[in-house]
Amino acid sequence: ITETANDLRAQHGAHYFSELALTRAKELGFHSEFESIRTVGEAEYLKKHGAQLWAVDADVHKRYERVVERKSETDQVSFEKFKADEQREWDNQDPAKQNLKAVIAMADHVFTNNGTQEELFAQVEAALKTIK
């Protein structure tokens, strides 16, 4: 899936999926929320069009623990493979490819999700209060 998405971005521009989603949301008259923005091109396009970018991150051990708890077939990987897979998405100079490090740096708000849902929700509530 990642390869196909990267190919489509390479063909149609680094912002391809963000443009499609935002255009469709505007056509329908919806205020929208997009998740899993992983490329600089997508993040730049959304911010250029007035979006707030929020990032949620957690310690690698906590993320792996949560993946294991999901018990999905695709999540049954070793910790080493999990880290290697994440590293591929962490830093890339191509704006059409995954670069979580840069996207997180572009975020208007960054939430640390190492604790409970309630703790994360408290961070989100505090951020919502800052929006005018």
In the predicted model, is pLDDT for residue 1 greater than 80?
Answer: no
Instruction: Give exposure, 71-88, as e/b (b: 16+ Cβ within 10 Å).
Output: eeeeeeeeeeebeeeeee
Instruction: Report, in angstroms and rounded to the nearest whole number, the Rg of the chain calculated over CA atoms.
Output: 16
Please list the residues that pair with 109 across neighbouring strands. 54
Of 126 and 95, the one with more pLDDT:
126
Residue 39 phi, psi (nearest 5): -120, 150
pLDDT of residue 31: 81
The Cα 70–Cα 117 span in angstroms is: 16
> Looking at residue 50, what DSSP letter applies?
T
In the predicted model, is pLDDT for residue 58 greater than 80?
Answer: yes
What are 71-94's pLDDT values in tens digits? 888 788 999 999 998 998 999 888
In the predicted model, is pLDDT for residue 30 greater than 90?
Answer: no
In degrees, to the nearest 5, what angle opens at C-alpha 86 toward C-alphas 83 and 92?
Answer: 135
